[in-house]
Structures are given as structure tokens and as C-alpha cells.
Structure 1
Amino acid sequence: MIETIRDTGFGKLVRLFSGGQLLRFPEEEDPSIWTTYVKTSEETKPAQSEISGSEYDSYEEDLEAYGLYTVMSQASRVGRRTSTVTSAPALPSSAQRGSPTIITWAPDDPENPQNWSIPKKLLVSSQIWLLTFAIYIGSAIYSPGIPSAAQHFGISSVAATLGLTLFVLGYGVGPMLLSPLSELPAVGRSPTYVLTLVVFVFFNFGVIYARNLGMFLAFRFLTGFFGSPALATGGASMGDIWSPRARDYMIAVWGCFAISAPVLGPLVGGFAAAAKGWTWTIWPLMWVSGFTLVVLFVGLPETYAPNILSRRAARVRKITGDADCVSESELELRRVSKKDLLFEALIRPFQLSFLEPIVFLLNLYISLIYGILYIWFEAFPIIFEDLHGFNAGQNGLAFLGILVGTICLAIPGYFYWKSHYQIRYLDRNGNLPPEAQLPSACVGAVCLAFSLFWFGWTGNFASVHWIVPILASGLFSVGGCLIFNSIFTYEAHAYPTYAASVLAGNDFMRSSFGAAFPLFATAMFRNLGVGWACTLLGCLAVLFVPYPFVLLRFGRRLRLASRFARHDI
């Protein structure tokens, strides 16, 4: 427990104010320990060409496990493999050896997140899940308050909907600028999460006490912007601490929290808006995010290996007086220009998203599904309040169909398929090609398209029991969840060198669709009717149904024609 608290925000403050006398690290208690952390620069990881077979597969999985959902893959994939350095006597200085002293992991190092106990890993993971939930619920929790906000500011319902869409747009834009901070060895993930959450909590006061529409919309965008690191790098945090085999399951659980939060938002916000008006849709968001801030400040240790090793190297420099004691990530960053870092962070995601055909169509499909999810925040009141007489709180309960479909059907089904059937796609060398991730997306594509027609034509008539469109929404969540998990994993495996950039572009594109679709949702459903509006969306979904099947059949050929995708499998 002391080791966990020592590396949290609270523990760092205790060390700062005690002058490093409290919560000391092992090398501060016994300076001779630092020699077990050393490897010379000649012992750095081998080039890809020198690694083959299962060793390369393991090495590649280690690379993918870190920085998977962030935007500095080129600069950050260093210093992440556990070294097998044995205890050694005091070493000569760096100047005498003619090379820097590389500070890395000791054998079975307890500070290495990959070596943490299962309970500690689950404790840390649960905090990331809680953080993701606390931020993601902030988008849809406001939607039941749109009529009240429109009346308060004297604007149309479309203008009031901007409070929803700008929040979503903010957490699509934010990762482009904020997520790279968590990949810097000098910063790390925990400070990025905690500091941006502090801003998120306080900016929500600006939302509640906004004096005019401009102030309200500006603070909604900024809260989404500063809440974005959790949404963009939560998957990377799972990769920091879990083995590659367990990582996919933990990311799926994290994704379940990301889906559940906006679904529960209308439920919480509906009862709050019905009782106290639109401002009370934000107060529950304040409570859950404030509670999360306290939990993370006291209990979230750093999980990012380069940051842990960078701080360890700083302590070793202080103990030895040798300024050339550095971590491998610090050494690597010296070789990367600022221009290259900016290109990878800001340009590469757009280059891959719009100029790489495989990525563009996959991201477009994901974005369409995400846009439809946010359209439903406007469509549900038309169906369940206007046709079935629900109040705002009861309308929020209608979203539980999506939650039940995700938790009870999609996630267990995905886990079962992954553990029992995916192994059949291993090639003769025991490698799993990226296309092995796609069969569940094929099933999801059919389910999702069918659910839209089912939802539209059963929700179009008051004579049809209200439970029927809710069941259809549950099938939609099954299809969407299978597609999301499959496509995210496929993109990471098909573009391992550029996985961070590919997924950052995905995040930006789908958030843009999620921000734009609600603006025309009400007009579309009222002018076309629920049945025909959902038919239009269903036809768009049908257009994409063949795409996972095409990739499953011809994906390898398409990858070989790409200069960005992997060619070795």
C-alpha cells in the first residue's frame, strides 16, 4: 500500500513537503541498490531485423501495449521491456566508460507496472474505469435539460443542443493537444489525468453559473476538452499494466464503461431536469467527477513506464552525482526533433484518417455508429415522451436497453468468441493476422443494421408496446459494441507502427460526427417520422455491412498494397 500511495499525487506532495524524508524509494534507503537498475547503451533493445519468430511476436505485443490510444507512438516506444540485469558492484562513471548509464528495471522489479499484483492492477484499472465514466456521462447527462436551457436562454432547441454537441467536439479535439502530455517521460499519465480533471471540475461551475449563452457554450466545450485525456488514453493505461493477452479484455471492460456512461446520462439527468431544471443536470456530474478527483489524487499511481524510469534516473543522478545517468526514453527523446514530434501528434492522424483507404472507411463506419448513438438522445423523447407519455425521468430509463445489451450480451459474447474461436485464425507460424479480429464485426454489422429498421418501425406507432423499441436498442448496442471492439483492435494490429495516430484520428472523426448529428436529429425525426428517419439511417448502415466481410476476405492483399500497414503476416 505504501508503494502505491508513494507514487500518487498525494504521495508526491508528501515527499515534496517532507524534503523526501517520507515515503522514500528503495534506492534512497539503500544507495547501493541503484546498481541493479543499470544497463549500458550497448545493451539496448535489438533492431526488428534481429528479432524473429515468437520473440518478435512478444516484442511487438509489448510495443502495442503502450501508447495504443495516444498520439506520440514514434517518440514514446522506448524503455518498456523488462531488463534482466543482475546485481553488480559500483560501476565506473559514464565518462570513464564513454557511454551513458541507462537506468532500467531491476530483475522482477516491483515498480514495473507489469509486475504488480493482480489486486493492485484491478485497483488501478477500476480508477481509470471510474474516471472514464465520470467524464463520458457529462455529454448525455445534459440532454434532458435541453428544453429547460432553451427556455432559460431564450433560444431554439437546436441552439440549446449545442451544449451537448460542443462537449462531444471538445473531447474529440482535446486528445490532439493534451494526450501527448501523458506520453512525455517528464509528465506521465497520472498528473495528466488529475490536473485536467481539476480543470474539468472547476469549469463545470462556469457551466452552471453561466450568465449568457456564449459563456455557457464556451464552458461546455472547455469541459469536454479538458476531460478528453481519460477518453483517449484510458486504453493505453490498460496496456501499461496488463499483459498483451489480458489487455484486450481489460480494454473491452474499459470500453463498456465508456458506453454505459452516456447511456446512463439521460437517466440521471432526466430526473434532475424534471425536478430542478437544466442546471441540475450538471450538479450530479460535478459530484461524480469531484469524487473521482479525490480518489485519483489519493489512489492512482503512475503506470507509464518511461515516466517511472525517468524519475528513477533523476534519483540516481542525485545519489551518484553522475549527470549521464538517464532512462532509455530520455535518451531516445534527445534524438527526436520537435518538428517530428509535432508531425506525429498533429499531422499523422489526419494523413492516415483521410488518405489511407482502409482506415478512412473503418473510421467513417465507426463515426456513423457514434453519430446514430447521439441522434438517439434526441429521438428517444419523440418516441417515449410524445407517443408513450413518458416523463423526462422515465425517458431516461428507456436507455437501459442499450446498457443491458452491452453488459449482458455484447461483452460476454465478445469475450467468449475471443477465448474460444479466435485461435482458429492462427496461421502456420502461430501468428494471428489482423483480419482475425473481424468476424465479430461481421456479426455486429448485420445486427446493427437490422436493429435500426426494427427500432424505427416499432417506435413509430403508439399501438406497439414501448418495450419493443427498447429491445431493438439493445440489439443496436450489441452490434455497435462488437464493431467498435473489432475495428479498434484491427486498426492497432494492422498499423502497429502508427496505431496511436490511427486511433487518434478515429477519435477525432467519430467525435465530430457525434457532435454534428444531434443538431439535425429533431428536425429529421419530426419531418420524416420515426420510421422513415430510422430507415434512412438503416440504409446507411446497410451500405457498410459488406465492408467487414471484404476486409476479412481481402484484407491481407489490401494491407500489402499500403505503405503504412504491416506486411509481415
Structure 2
Amino acid sequence: MASLVRDTFFGYTLRAVFGTKVLPHPDETDLPMVWQNAVHEKAQSPSEDASVRGSIHEEDHNDPLNGRGRGYGTRDEQEHRYPHPKPRAASLHSADTVVDASAAAKPDAEKGGDTLLVGWYGPEDPDNPLNWSRAKKVWVMFQTCLLTFAVYIGSAIYTAGIADISEEFHVSTVAATVGLTVFVAGYGIGPMVWSPLSELPKVGRMPIYIITLAFFVVLQVPTALATNYGMLMAFRFLTGFVGSPILATGGATIADLYVPKKRAYGITLWGVIATCGPVMGPLVGGFAVHAKGWRWTIWELMWLSGFALIVLFFFFPETSASNILYRRAARLRKATGNPHLKSQSEIEAENMTARDVLVDVLIRPFTLNFQEPIVLVLNVYIGLIYALLYIWFESFPIVFIGIYHFEPQLLGLAFIGVLIGAFAVMPPFFYYLYYHQEPKYSATGELRPEERMPIAIVGALLVPICMFWFGWTSRASIHWIVPIIGSSLFSIAALLLFNAVLNYLADAYPTYAASVLAGNDLIRSMFGAAFPLFAGAMYRNLGVGWASTLLGLLACSFIPIPILLWRYGEKIRMSSKRARHDFD
């Protein structure tokens, strides 16, 4: 239980108030063991061999300095890559004694300079998230999905009350819809700040999640109590902005827990839960609006996110390996009095100026979008899929209330097909991952990013099929179940595309993974924010059939992208200065 709570926000709070004897770390109870097993003879310097430096830097974003090594091979292979340090002739008595380590371990300038590298205890270090038990990983995955659902539902739950908002504040339906778009825009802009911050070793992921979620919960109160249109729009944007970290960084959290070969399974489950938010929002919000009015959709959002905050406050641990090792190095420095004990991320940070940090946090996510052709094309494509989703959802009231005469509070049931499609695709997709994709991983546990594209091609083909099916079967002469069945194809397509593209970007740009994924979230959110504003007019003027056909044809024009990346992506990637080249 102590290991489950120690690195949570609750655990941090207890230790800050009552001292380090509460929920102690192993290095605070058995210092000699830690000194021998966690401190490496030599730290990696910026002048080290490029291949070693590259692998360590990549693992800073995914599985930094993990005891298993990049390839997660046999134990002998693991120890060859990250060997256990030789025992030192130090006499470090106990954790309760502050020891002058300068005499106990004098650094050899020829072997490692003044810096001693603090790493994992060994291949089985229990603090390494990759070594956590299956039960603990499942528990962290559950909390990650809970937080994702609690934030993502905030966009669509609002749509059920658009008519009421329009009437109460005397604005047009389009103006009322802006409450949806500013929320989506907020959670598109937010990760440009929050995601890079979560990659800083001094910060980590967990504090960002908890602090922003607390603001997300609190800001629902003025949103629900808004007395005018401007106040409502302002707080909808702010709640989207502060609720955004998990939407871009959730994938990085999953990457902290699982080796690359198994990461796709977690990303898939996370993607399905993310789909549940926009799908369940109209259903949950529809009943609330029918019974109590639009303000109750916001109260529901506050209750759900408040529940998530309580769970995560007590039980969500830090998963960033860089942060875990950073804090370990700080504890060892304090216990031994040796200022030369540092984690790899601290060593790298010493060579970074304030300007470098500013570029990493605020500038690089933008520049990567426009300087890397692969990033730009894939971000625009995923942005299109996101836009199609939000445009298409605007047609559901026209189809199921206008054509099939559903009661307004039951409109959310029409989205069940999308939800079923997301869950239905998981078993065959997992089969594909296990029997077709996993065997393609190299002996060192790596996969060329282009190998992810075949499944994206399938998803790209399903999007226009879904649009044509839905558009031309949505008529009174055809039973309502037929367009609902067609709608399930969209969630299948989106899940395949998102999984392939996000993993492709993380694999091809591991050093800049946080910035690349934050940029992807920004582009798709901007598309999703803008397109719903004209969706209603488009469907009313063109009709459901022709409007859906237009969207289907637009989707067809993007089908060549995954095909070209599958065939020529490696050549494009090799010409980039930022993309990774050294795949086995």
C-alpha cells in the first residue's frame, strides 16, 4: 500500500507536512544498498557516442534509463546495456545519518568527471514503472482513462443544451454552438504548454494532472452559474484549457508503463474510452436538459470530474521515469552530502539555457508542425478526421429528430452505434497486433514507424464508406437502425487511424515526442473547434445525403497519405534532421 500511495499527490502532501519518515523510499531506509546499486561509475556526457546518447535521450521520453534496456531482451543483454555498478568502498552507515560522501567515493575524472550518475537499482527495480505489477499498471490505466473520459465528455455534454442556451441568452444557434468550439479550442491550446511542462524532470506528469484537474472542477461552478453569454463562453474556454493535459499526454503516460511492443494495446483502450466521452455526452446531457435545463449538464460535468479528482489525488502515482530518477538523485544528495550525484536528465539540463527551455516548452511544438513534412501531413489528416467527427455529429439531430422523430432526450441513443463500433474493433485489432505486428519488432524491441501504416490504410478507406452509407440511408423509407450501423464504421476507422498515426509520430520523433503530440492535439482541436460552426447550415442547405457525400469525397482525397508513407515514409524520414534514423 505504501508503494501505491507514496508517489501520489496525497503522498507528496503527507511527506511535505510530516517529513520523509512517512512513506519512506528504499534509499531512505537502506542507504548502503542504494549507494551500491543506484549510482553508476560514469555519467553520460554530451560528448558521448551518438548512438548511446540517442538511445538514452529517447528513453527519457518513453522509458528513460530503464533497467531492461531499449530492447527489453534477456537479463544478460539488459545488464550489458545498463550494467550494475561496482560496489564502492564506502562506509555509509544508515539512512538516519547524514554522511559526507566526498571521502567515501571520490569521482575519477578520467572515468566520469565529477558527476556520478544515479540510475535504477537494476533490471528489476520496483520504482521503474515498466517493472510495476500488472495490477498496479491496470489501476493506473483505469485512472488515466477515467480522467480522459471526464474531460472529453465536457465537449459533447454541452451540445444537449444549445437550444436552451440560445433561448436564455437571446443568441443564435450558431452563437450558442461557440460554447462547444471554445472548449475544444481550449483543450487544443492547453497541451502546447502543459505537455512540455510534464516532460520536465523537475515537474513530472502527476502534478500537472492533479493541479489542472482541480482548476477544471472549480471552474465548472462559474460556468454553470453564468449570467450572460460572454461569461459562459469565457469559462468554457478556460475549463477546456485547464482540462487538456491528459488529452495529449495520456499516451505518454501509457508509454511510461509499457514497452513499445505492448504500448499499442494500452493506446487502443485509451482511445476507445476517449471515444466514449463525445458519444456519451449527448445521451447524459439530453436527460439532464430535459429534466432540469442546460445548467445541469455543467453540474454533471463537475460531479464526474470531481470524482476523478478525488480518486487521482489519493491513488495516481508519478509515471515519468525522468522525474522518478530526478527525485531519487535529490534524496541521495541530501542523505550523503555529495553534490555530484545526478540523474541523466539533470546532466542534460545543465547544458540548457533558459532560452533552450523556453524553446522546448513554447516554440518547438509550433515549429515542428511546419518544418517537418511528415508531422504536418499527419496532423492535418488527423485534424480532418476530428473535424469530420464534429461536423457529422451535428447532423444527428437533423436525421434522428427531423427524419425519424426521436424524442430530444433520446437523441443520445443514436450515438450508440459509434460506441459499439469502438468496442467491436478491439478484439480483431488486438489479434492483428499480436500475430502480425509484434513479430515484425526487431530483436532489440523496435519497429520501423512505416510498419504501422497498413492498418491506417484500412481506417482511411472506412471513413468515406461510413459517410456515404450514413448519408444515403438516412431517410424515412429506411429503418433508423441502418444509418446507426453505418455510423459504427467511423469509430472503427478513427481508432485505427489514431492508433497508427500517434504511434508513428512517437516512434519517428522520440526526442520530441511531447512536442509533436501536443502539436497534433492543437491541429485536430482547431479543426474540431471551427467546423461545427457551419455544419448545421451545410446539412440544411445540401441535405443529409449530399452533405455527407461532400465529406466522404474530402475523406477520399486523403486516402493516399498513409499509402505514400507506407511506401516512401522511410526515405522522407531519413532526410529529416529531427526524425530518428537508426531503426534496426
Query: Is residue 143–residue 377 contact of structure 1 (8 Å, CA) maintained in 2?
Result: no
The structural deviation recorded for 1:370 is 0.3
Distance 1:12 1:64, change over 3 A: closer
- Aligned with 1:282: secondary structure? helix
C-alpha displacement at 1:430, in angstroms? 9.2
Structure-2 residue corresponding to 1:484: 498
Checking the alignment, whether the CA contact within 8 Å between 2:60 and 2:321 is kept in structure 1 is no
Q: Is the 8 A contact 1:61 1:244 kept in 2?
A: no
Q: Which residue of 1 aligns with 2:85?
A: 85
Aligned to 1:208: 224
Are residues 1:241 and 2:257 paired? yes
Q: Please state whether the residue corresponding to 1:142 is helix, strand or coil.
A: helix
Specify the SS of the correspondent of 1:311: helix
2:508 matched to 1:494? Answer: yes
Shift of 1:115: 1.5
Q: Which whole-Å CA distance do the structure 1 matches of 2:159 and 2:260 have between them?
A: 38
Q: Work out the CA distance in 2 between the residues paired with 1:558 and 1:239.
A: 25
Kindly state the Cα deviation for residue 45 of structure 1 after the two structures are TM-superposed. Answer: 10
Is the counterpart of residue 39 in structure 1 residue 40 in structure 2?
yes
CA 398–46 in structure 1, closer or farther in 2 if over 3 Å, else same:
farther
The one-letter code matched in structure 2 to 1:93 is S
Counterpart of 2:317?
A: 301
Q: Mean alpha-carbon deviation: is it higher for 89-98 or for 150-159?
A: 89-98
Query: Hey, what does 1:130 align to over in structure 2?
Result: 146
For residues 208-227 of structure 1, the aligned pairs below 5 Å read 208-227=224-243
Give the 3-state SS of the residue equivalent to 1:102 in structure 2.
Answer: strand
- Residue 421 (str. 1) matches residue 430 (str. 2): no
CA distance in 1, matches of 2:44, 2:50: 16
Distance 2:265 2:391 in 1: 29
Q: Provide the residue aligned with 1:553 in structure 2.
A: 567
What does residue range 244-263 of structure 1 map to in structure 2 within 5 Å? 244-263=260-279
1:218 Cα shift? 0.8
Q: For 1:319-350, what per-residue CA distance to the aligned partner results, in whole angstroms no more than 9, with x for missing partners? A: 22223332221222111122222223333222
Residue deviations 1:395-420, cap 9 Å, x none? 101111111101112x2222221211
Give the direction of change, closer, same or farther, for the CA distance of 1:66–1:39 in structure 2 (3 Å limit). closer
Q: Helix, strand or coil for the counterpart of 1:141?
A: helix
Aligned position for 1:310: 326
In the TM superposition, what whole-angstrom CA distance separates every residue of 1:40-94 from its partner, at most 9, and x where no partner exists? 3446799564559xxx9x8787456259xxxxxxxxxxxxx96623554427528
2 CA distance for matches of 1:473 and 1:485? 19
Is the counterpart of residue 121 in structure 1 residue 122 in structure 2? no
TM-fit CA distance, 1:290: 0.5
Write the distance in 1 (CA, Å) between the matches of 2:482 and 2:273. 25
Instruction: Tell me the CA shift for residue 535 of structure 1.
Output: 0.9
| Identity score, percent | 51
Distance 2:117 2:439 in 1: 42
How many Å apart are 1:394 and its aligned residue? 1.4
SS at match of 2:190: helix
Q: How does 1:254-273 map to 2 (within 5 A)?
A: 254-273=270-289
**Structure 1 residue 65 and structure 2 residue 62: aligned?**
yes
Q: Are 1:190 and 2:206 matched, yes or no? A: yes
| Letter matched to residue 362 of structure 2 | L
Q: What is the CA-CA distance between 1:529 and the residue it aligns to?
A: 0.9
1:222, CA displacement in angstroms?
Answer: 0.7
**Gap change, CA 1:378 and 1:17, over 3 Å in 2:** same
Deviations 1:134-158 (A, max 9, x none): 1111111111111011111111111
Shift, 1:239, TM fit: 1.3
Q: For residues 456 and 215 of structure 1, what CA distance do their matches in structure 2 show?
A: 37
1:441 matches 2:456: yes
Deviation at 1:200, TM superposition (A): 0.3
Q: How far does residue 15 in structure 1 lie from its aligned partner after superposition?
A: 1.8
Q: Give the structure 2 partner of residue 14 of structure 1.
A: 14
Tell me, yes or no, if the aligned pair for 1:9 and 1:297 is still in contact at 8 Å: yes
- Residues 372 and 43 from structure 1, CA distance in 2 versus in 1: closer, same or farther, beyond 3 angstroms? closer
What is the SS of the residue equivalent to 2:22? coil
Give the CA deviation at 1:427: 8.5
Structure 1: runs of 5+ lacking an equivalent: 68-80
Q: Is the 8 A contact 1:102 1:327 kept in 2?
A: yes
Looking at structure 2, the residues matched to 85 and 46 of structure 1 have their Cα atoms a distance apart, in angstroms, of 21
Task: Answer yes or no: is the 8 Å Cα contact 2:400–2:406 preserved in 1.
Answer: yes
Task: Output the amino acid matched with 1:315.
Answer: R
Change (3 A) 1:87 1:272: farther
> In the alignment, which of 450, 467, 471 is matched to residue 452 of structure 1?
467
In structure 2, relative to structure 1, the CA distance for the partners of 1:60 and 1:471 (3 Å cut) is farther
Conserved? CA contact 1:65–1:247, under 8 Å: no
Query: Which residue is 1:100 aligned to?
Result: 115
User: Which string of whole-angstrom CA distances, capped at 9 and with x for unpartnered residues, describes residues 372-400 of structure 1?
Assistant: 11113321111111111112231101111
Say which SS state the counterpart of residue 111 (structure 1) adopts: coil
The 1-side partners of 2:352 and 2:274 are apart by 34
Q: Which moved more, 1:197-206 or 1:344-353?
A: 344-353
The farther-off stretch of 184-193 and 99-108 is 99-108
Q: How much does 1:31 deviate?
A: 3.3
Residue 148 of structure 1, aligned match among 153, 164, 172: 164
Label 1:343 to 1:533 Cα distance change in 2 as closer, same or farther (>3 A).
same
* One-letter amino acid of the structure 2 residue matched with residue 194 of structure 1: I
CA distance in 2, matches of 1:236, 1:319: 31
Task: Supply the distance in 1 between the matched residues of 2:43 and 2:550 (Cα, whole angstroms).
Answer: 61
Q: Displacement, 1:25?
A: 2.1
In 1: Cα distance, 2:25 partner to 2:576 partner: 48
Equivalent residues of 2:186, 2:244 under 8 A apart: yes
In structure 2, the CA distance between the partners of 1:249 and 1:60, relative to structure 1 (3 Å rule), is farther
**Count of aligned positions:** 550
SS at 2:556's partner residue? helix
Mapped to 1, the partners of 2:59 and 2:166 lie a distance apart of 50
Contact (CA 8 Å) 1:171, 1:511: kept in 2 or not?
Answer: yes
1:379 aligns with 2:395: yes
Q: Once the 2 structures are TM-superposed, how far is the Cα of residue 301 of structure 1 from its aligned partner? A: 1.2
Among 345, 357, 360, which residue is 2:361 paired with?
345
In 2, are the aligned partners of 1:206 and 1:219 still within 8 Å (CA)? yes
Query: Deviations 1:485-543 (Å, cap 9, x if unpaired)?
Result: 11112222233333333222211100000000111111111111111111111110010
CA distance in 1, matches of 2:341, 2:374: 44
Counterparts in 2 of 1:342 and 1:430: CA distance versus 1, 3 Å: closer
Tell me how far apart the structure 2 counterparts of residues 374 and 297 of structure 1 sit (CA, whole Å).
Answer: 32
Residues 1:514 and 2:528 are matched in the alignment: yes
Residues 15 and 23 of structure 1 are in contact (CA less than 8 Å); yes or no, is this contact kept in structure 2?
A: yes
Q: Does structure 1 conserve the Cα–Cα contact (< 8 Å) formed by 2:272 and 2:422?
A: yes
Q: Output the CA distance in 1 between the equivalents of 2:86 and 2:29.
A: 20
Report Cα offsets for 1:275-310 as digits up to 9, x if no partner: 111111112211111111010111111111121222
- For residues 184 and 428 of structure 1, the distance between their equivalents in structure 2, rounded to whole angstroms, comes to 31
* Residue type at the aligned position of 2:26: P
Q: What amino acid is aligned across from residue 62 of structure 2 in structure 1?
A: A
**Distance change in 2, residues 1:320/1:495 (3 Å):** closer
Distance of aligned partners of 1:206 and 1:41 in 2 relative to their CA distance in 1, 3 Å threshold? farther
Shift in alpha-carbon separation, 1:428–1:218, aligned structure 2, 3 A? closer
Deviates more, 1:426-435 or 1:277-286: 426-435
How many angstroms apart in 2 are the aligned matches of 1:134 and 1:236? 18
| Equivalent in 540, 543, 552 of residue 557 of structure 2 | 543
Residue 200 of structure 1 aligns to a residue in which SS? helix
- Cα RMSD (Å) of the superposition? 2.5
Contact kept? 2:117, 2:342, Cα under 8 Å: yes
Q: Which blocks of at least 5 consecutive residues in structure 2 are unaligned? A: 65-80, 92-100
- Give, in angstroms, the shift of residue 180 of structure 1: 2.2
